[in-house]
A and B are shown apart, each in its own frame.
Chain A
Amino acid sequence: MEAVAVHAVTKTFGDARAVDGLNLSVPRGAVFGLLGPNGSGKTTTIRMILQIILPDEGSIEVLGAPLDEKGKQRIGYLPEERGLYRGMTVGDQLVFFGQLRGLSASAARDRSHRWLERFDAVDWFGRKVQELSKGMQQKVQFIGTILHDPDLVILDEPFSGLDPVNTRLLKDVMLELRDRGCTVIFSTHQMEQVERSCDSICLMNKGRAVVQGEVAAIRRDHGANTVHVEYAGNLPRDRIAPLTETLDDHGHYAEIRLRSEEDASPLLRILVDSVDVRRFETSEASMHDIFIRLVEEKR
């Protein structure tokens, strides 16, 4: 069964079509990445899944049924733009969020303590939010999202603004949630996160799904015709141009997509002639690459 199923959903704001005939299928118990450039309709889609706004057309099922009051209590949501009540203490705030989702005050308090401990922040309980740094606030908000042990967690850009340590912590907790049977949907444009943590993705552009499915399958479909080269010297751009479709040159490192898989050997021969090759590796396309290619094709 699917955790979220979006059927032919359209949403228009004034003249702008934010989401355009979107179909989406999020398998249960998966970590699902919602990708897309800014303004591609990710946040609008998320808000419609949560019934914060209603679609103009189409229907959405969450956890097997149209979302009702009971269903809403099984969801945890972290909006893209974070905010907490600045004058409230961390503890009061978490208890409030917990109560809104049907927890008793004492259960909410117990769980807040447990999660704050897990995030190494138990002594924040009585402190006011305005005394915390931005990163700390983000942790508090994340705890507020998962406090009630939801079956579905939706995180809008959860990694933005986090340092590497907290990024790892967040990723670990996300995987933990999944292992407990919770479905995690998150939106991002950090492709590495997608590659490493997502089971499935949907790539959105201009309100439509450009590609969706399991990450491994998508990468396979887009061919093993990507070459990573580390080198010293000047890349002979003119000579390799007939072989390449795209070239992303960083000076000492280049990611090259070939026109076909058979072009790898000729490319290596040209490179050995003209530069000092330190690494030459063929691989499947990275999500980053696929993302850029698909989005640019549509322009």
Chain B
Amino acid sequence: MSRILTILRREYRERVRRRSFLLGTVLVPVFILGVTFLPVWIANRTGTEPVNLYVVDRTGSLAEEFEASFDDSLPGGAPRFRFDRATDPPGGPEEILDDGLRQSLLDEEYDVFLYIPENAFSGEAAQLYSRGLGDLELAGRFRSALGRAAMVERLVARGIPAGETDEISRPIPISAFKLTEEGVREGGAEIDWLIGVLFGLILYMTILLYGVSVQRSVIEEKSSRIVEILLVTVRPFQLMLGKIIGVGAVGLTQYAIWFLVASAGSVYLRQTNPAIASATALPAETLAYFVVYFILGYFLFAAIYAAVGAMVSSEQEAQQTQWPVTILLIIPMILMQLVLRSPSSTESVVLSLVPFFAPILMVIRINIVSPPLWQILASLGLLVLSILFFTAVAARIFRVGILMVGKRPTLPELLRWIRES
């Protein structure tokens, strides 16, 4: 036991003291926040860009009502949308474009050209030209604004007074609540979704980072032959265990730091912006699951990465050998979309029970829906069983491989190592 402790302590201290630990502690959240919030931020930022539209309305009645939907203003106070309504230029949209408008659009004099055909009311499509409507939200707004304009015009045509049309077409907002075992909590699915993705990403990155770190440490000892000195007093399994626990403790330290920073942030948020604070507040249970799944997921992958480290003689060889393991980590990242979209579907339930995927997928599901307890327990049980199995297999590979130099073992050789030792 004291030997495992000595090994563990060395792994831990050497890592925590390194500059890369500090860097990782700072950079991982920055990176993850970047990946999650950058698209949102960019989407919001485009709201501050002015948009110039050139509108040709052959019906003669829709344009005005359409424009009424765009009364946003820029940060400076000037209106964001500027409309030029053409006084009946001849020809269809193509001819109008050819008549100099194409160049105006390409020169960024205009951003959008909207052509409303004469038969728009009877179903002919309006046409929208732009240099590229990157902003999906904007395209959606054009669509609904034109629909609303058509509705108002039709209501007026049926004799409803113009003053009442606004009243009739006013939408009803929806507030979303999340129902859990503990009760009801206000907050959009967006927040859960975001936190789900956030946790998934953190789990993916930390398991990968620390798993590979174990592998690297094995390779260092193997290639420098320190392992021979160690093996005089330490059994291979003790060495592997000490390493895995030591490196894992570094990961938990990092989690603790993140948790403290996040708690400090949420205390600050509660004082300045209670609404966001309550929407983003996480039940302690969710955090506990997050940590438990990290520990188990890390253990499973670290044992396998340790075995890979023992199989190879250099970092380069490791790069070529570790991919099947890394793919097992990437698959849940790809499947994440599926689980986020329908977290309670049969596929999602089954996938979140698979031991290699459970750490990421089950945590996402726990964030979005509250899966039945039996599913969580089943995934934990399966995970623990696979840890026992794969650690035993990895230990056998480790024991033989750690002293082997030279050629990487082939698959049949590997199986023999596992069987014979």
Residues of A near any B CB (own CB < 8 A): 47, 50-53, 69, 72-73, 75, 77, 79-88, 92, 96-97, 99-101, 144-145
Task: Let me know if B233 and A101 touch, CB within 8 A.
Answer: yes
Contacts of B223 in A (CB 8 A): 83
**Nearest opposing residue in chain B for A50, CB measure:** B232
Contacts of A81 in B (CB 8 A): 225
Contacts of A97 in B (CB 8 A): 229
Contacts of A47 in B (CB 8 A): 228, 403
Q: Tally inter-chain residue pairs, CB-CB below 8 A.
A: 57
Task: Let me know if A85 and B14 touch, CB within 8 A.
Answer: yes
Partner of A88, one of B14, B231, B403: B14
Contacts of B220 in A (CB 8 A): 85-86
Contacts of B178 in A (CB 8 A): none
Number of interface residues of B (CB under 8 A): 21
Task: Let me know if A52 and B14 touch, CB within 8 A.
Answer: no
Task: Let me know if B14 and A72 touch, CB within 8 A.
Answer: no
Task: Let me know if B403 and A82 touch, CB within 8 A.
Answer: no
A115, chain B: closest CB distance, angstroms? 16
B224 at the interface (CB under 8 A from A): yes
Contacts of B6 in A (CB 8 A): 96, 99-100
Task: Let me know if A85 and B233 touch, CB within 8 A.
Answer: no
Contacts A84-B224, A100-B3, A100-B234: A79 and B229 contacting too (C-beta < 8 A)? yes
Task: Let me know if B233 and A100 touch, CB within 8 A.
Answer: yes
Contacts A100-B3, A100-B6: A52 and B231 contacting too (C-beta < 8 A)? yes
> Using an 8 Å CB-CB cutoff, how does the interface string of B215-231 with A read, 1 for contact, 0 for none?
00000110111101111
> Using an 8 Å CB-CB cutoff, how does the interface string of B223-249 with A read, 1 for contact, 0 for none?
111101111111000000000000000
B10 at the interface (CB under 8 A from A): yes
Given pairs A50-B231, A86-B224, A96-B10, 6 additional interface contacts (CB within 8 A):
A72-B233, A81-B225, A84-B226, A85-B14, A100-B7, A100-B234
Give the interface centre of B14, B221, B234 by most chain A CB atoms within 10 Å. Answer: B14
State the CA gap A88–B14 with chains docked (Å): 7
B72, chain A: closest CB distance, angstroms? 56
Task: Let me know if B226 and A85 touch, CB within 8 A.
Answer: yes
Contacts of A92 in B (CB 8 A): 10, 13-14
Contacts of A77 in B (CB 8 A): 228-229, 232
B9, chain A: closest CB distance, angstroms? 8
A-B contact pairs, 6 of them (CB 8 A): A79-B225, A82-B224, A83-B223, A83-B225, A85-B224, A100-B233
State the CA gap A75–B229 with chains docked (Å): 10
Q: Which 3 A-B pairs have the closest CB atoms?
A: A83-B224, A79-B228, A81-B225
Interface residues of chain B: helix, strand, loop or mixed (majority)? helix
Task: Let me know if A82 and B233 touch, CB within 8 A.
Answer: no
Task: Let me know if B229 and A87 touch, CB within 8 A.
Answer: no
Contacts A87-B14, A101-B233: A52 and B224 contacting too (C-beta < 8 A)? no
State the CA gap A96–B234 with chains docked (Å): 13
Task: Let me know if B226 and A72 touch, CB within 8 A.
Answer: no
Contacts A52-B403, A99-B6: A83 and B231 contacting too (C-beta < 8 A)? no
Contacts of A82 in B (CB 8 A): 224-225
State the CA gap A52–B225 with chains docked (Å): 12
**Nearest opposing residue in chain A for B7, CB measure:** A100
State the CA gap A50–B403 with chains docked (Å): 14
**Nearest opposing residue in chain B for A67, CB measure:** B232
Task: Let me know if A52 and B10 touch, CB within 8 A.
Answer: no
State the CA gap A50–B6 with chains docked (Å): 20
A282, chain B: closest CB distance, angstroms? 45
Contacts of A79 in B (CB 8 A): 225, 228-229
> Using an 8 Å CB-CB cutoff, how does the interface string of B1-41 with A read, 1 for contact, 0 for none?
00100110010011000100000000000000000000000
**Nearest opposing residue in chain B for A69, CB measure:** B233
A130, chain B: closest CB distance, angstroms? 11
Give the interface centre of A50, A73, A75 by most chain B CB atoms within 10 Å. Answer: A50
State the CA gap A87–B220 with chains docked (Å): 10
Contacts of A69 in B (CB 8 A): 233
Contacts of B233 in A (CB 8 A): 69, 72-73, 100-101
Contacts A85-B14, A85-B224, A88-B14: A72 and B232 contacting too (C-beta < 8 A)? yes
State the CA gap A177–B326 with chains docked (Å): 50
**Nearest opposing residue in chain A for B405, CB measure:** A81
Task: Let me know if B226 and A52 touch, CB within 8 A.
Answer: no
**Nearest opposing residue in chain B for A80, CB measure:** B225
Q: Name the interface residues of B40-54: CB closer than 8 Å to any CB of A.
A: none
B355, chain A: closest CB distance, angstroms? 33
Contacts A85-B14, A85-B220: A100 and B230 contacting too (C-beta < 8 A)? yes
State the CA gap A262–B248 with chains docked (Å): 75
A100, chain B: closest CB distance, angstroms? 5
Contacts of B226 in A (CB 8 A): 83-85
Q: Name the interface residues of B127-179: CB closer than 8 Å to any CB of A.
A: none
State the CA gap A97–B403 with chains docked (Å): 19
State the CA gap A75–B6 with chains docked (Å): 18
State the CA gap A79–B221 with chains docked (Å): 13
State the CA gap A187–B3 with chains docked (Å): 28
State the CA gap A52–B231 with chains docked (Å): 6
**Nearest opposing residue in chain B for A145, CB measure:** B229
**Nearest opposing residue in chain A for B228, CB measure:** A79
Contacts of B14 in A (CB 8 A): 85, 87-88, 92
State the CA gap A81–B221 with chains docked (Å): 12
State the CA gap A82–B223 with chains docked (Å): 10
A266, chain B: closest CB distance, angstroms? 53
B406, chain A: closest CB distance, angstroms? 12
Task: Let me know if B232 and A75 touch, CB within 8 A.
Answer: yes
Partner of A53, one of B7, B229, B230, B403: B403
State the CA gap A144–B225 with chains docked (Å): 14
